[in-house]
């Protein structure tokens, strides 16, 4: 198949793209921004204080990182249709347990399933499936389906605000879960799904699971670059109050900037996907963090409301480009047949790193470090990651496309 425009790609592969898009949109149910909208209600339902809920949430998040490595790799040999059905069943079971159980342990298991299957495995499934099934138009396809995440960030908060005026918090969860279940039922019934990947066996008949990325030098060289955005943005999200105060802005402006960031992800994803296909992932891997890097420099220099807006807009553009760029890197180095395993390890490391980042930044803030200096530290981290990844990025130029 030759390279296609986005409209042609949608016409030719609408079913497969719909699967990936709905998977990433469904993953919003397990994202921190979505659960945070119900934090007080969930904590009250579980009988936990705010601090207690935060501790439990952190533990669940770290555990889900380990489980993503185990369950995410299975996508390399399990039928995508079966895998999606199992993840959807586990996610819906988690929603029911979390919202209906009167006992703490089952409710916590439900919350853990929502985090694992939503934030972890649903997003992993959608990106891995598209990265594996597309070759010529991989960048465009990844860019399109990645829009499912920012669309949820833009649409779900006002939807929840409207429905919460008429429904109880757990009824809002049921309504959203039921709507997604109907979408998935349509996909299972009316869309042609890809076949299961071919299982490779050795001479003794044992299934070969592919390379272990943790023992690959190239993997460790590329990881800091791919972690730069989630790690730095986690710190910004968690310490938004300190950031806006030090930059002489306000939480109201920050809320507006969040919306701008979500909107900026759309052109970032679409441009990034097209450029990956046309210019090659090696070039885009060197450039996709530039909008965020420039935004950090402008924010530190300018200060005020414009600093926060510019910072989040630049983050949105780079964040939109990151999915087609990073997933294409993993495919081109380790192959389509190993994408599930490699990507699951990367996802697990991202969970761990985003759990550590708030602790480090908290210590810095407690010791009087202003957020301008923290932003410069983030920029330095990005530069170090870029330098470490240069060998791997240049290695991509020797790989067949």
- What tens digit of pLDDT does each residue of 121-174 get? 999 999 999 988 888 888 899 999 999 988 988 888 888 889 988 999 999 999
Residue 130 and residue 94 share a domain? yes
* pLDDT for the residue 210: 66
> Minimal CA–CA distance to 386: which of 268, 318, 284, 289?
289
Q: Is residue 204 part of a domain?
A: no
Q: How many residues are there in the chain?
A: 401
What's 344's domain CATH number?
Answer: 1.20.1250.20
Do residues 111 and 5 lie in contact, with contact meaning Cβ atoms separated by under 8 Å?
Answer: no
* pLDDT for the residue 256: 87
* pLDDT for the residue 84: 95
Residue 220 and residue 186 share a domain? no
Domain count, the chain: 2
The model's pTM: 0.85
Residue 277 and residue 134 share a domain? no
Do residues 328 and 139 lie in contact, with contact meaning Cβ atoms separated by under 8 Å?
Answer: yes
Q: Is residue 195 part of a domain?
A: no
Sequence-distant (≥ 6) Cβ neighbours of residue 329 within 8 angstroms: 222, 226, 281, 285, 392, 393, 396
Residue 32 and residue 168 share a domain? yes
Q: Which residues of the chain have pLDDT under 50?
A: 400-401
Q: Is residue 334 part of a domain?
A: yes
Residue 325 and residue 281 share a domain? yes
Residue 259 and residue 172 share a domain? no
Residue 372 and residue 308 share a domain? yes
* pLDDT for the residue 80: 93
Residue 339 and residue 219 share a domain? yes
Q: Is residue 118 part of a domain?
A: yes
The CA radius of gyration of the chain, in Å to the nearest whole number, is 21
Q: Is residue 78 part of a domain?
A: yes
Residue 47 and residue 106 share a domain? yes
Domain that holds residue 287: 213-396
* pLDDT for the residue 400: 44
Residue 18 and residue 122 share a domain? yes
Residue 228 and residue 117 share a domain? no
Buried b (16+ CB within 10 A) or exposed e, 380-396: ebbeebbeebeebbebb
Q: Is residue 282 part of a domain?
A: yes
Residue 13 and residue 84 share a domain? yes
Torsion of CA 68, 224, 322, 32, to 10 degrees: 50
């Amino acid at each position: 198949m030759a390279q296609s425009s986005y409209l042609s790609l949608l016409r030719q592969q609408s079913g497969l793209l719909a699967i990936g898009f709905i998977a990433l949109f469904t993953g919003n149910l397990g994202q921190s921004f979505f659960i945070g909208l119900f934090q007080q209600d969930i904590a009250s339902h579980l009988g936990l204080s705010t601090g207690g809920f935060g501790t439990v949430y952190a533990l669940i998040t770290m555990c889900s990182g380990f489980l993503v490595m185990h369950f995410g790799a299975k996508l390399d040999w399990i039928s995508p249709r079966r895998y999606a059905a199992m993840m959807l069943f586990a996610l819906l079971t988690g929603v029911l347990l979390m919202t209906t159980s009167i006992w703490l342990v089952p409710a916590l298991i439900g919350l853990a399933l929502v985090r694992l299957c939503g934030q972890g495995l649903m997003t992993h499934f959608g990106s891995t499936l598209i990265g594996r099934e597309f070759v010529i138009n991989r960048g465009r396809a990844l860019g399109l389906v990645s829009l499912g995440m920012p669309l949820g960030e833009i649409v779900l908060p006002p939807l929840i605000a409207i429905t919460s005026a008429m429904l109880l918090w757990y009824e809002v969860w049921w309504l959203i879960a039921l709507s997604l279940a109907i979408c998935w039922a349509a996909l299972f019934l009316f869309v042609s799904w890809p076949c299961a990947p071919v299982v490779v066996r050795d001479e003794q008949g044992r299934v070969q699971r592919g390379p272990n990325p943790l023992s690959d030098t190239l993997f460790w060289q590329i990881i800091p670059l791919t972690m730069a955005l989630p790690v730095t943005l986690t710190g910004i999200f968690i310490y938004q109050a300190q950031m806006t105060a030090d930059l002489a802005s306000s939480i109201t402006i920050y809320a507006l900037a969040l919306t701008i960031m979500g909107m900026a992800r759309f052109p970032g994803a679409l441009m990034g996907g097209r450029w990956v296909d046309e210019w090659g992932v090696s070039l885009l891997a060197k450039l996709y963090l530039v909008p965020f890097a420039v935004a950090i420099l402008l924010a530190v220099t300018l200060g005020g409301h414009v600093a926060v807006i510019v910072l989040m807009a630049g983050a949105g553009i780079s964040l939109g480009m990151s999915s087609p760029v990073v997933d294409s890197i993993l495919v081109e180095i380790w192959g389509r047949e190993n994408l599930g395993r490699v990507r699951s390890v990367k996802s697990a490391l991202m969970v761990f790193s985003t759990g550590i980042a708030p602790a480090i930044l908290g210590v810095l803030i407690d010791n009087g470090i202003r957020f301008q200096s923290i932003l410069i530290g983030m920029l330095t981290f990005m530069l170090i990651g870029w330098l470490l990844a240069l060998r791997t990025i240049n290695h991509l130029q020797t790989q067949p496309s």
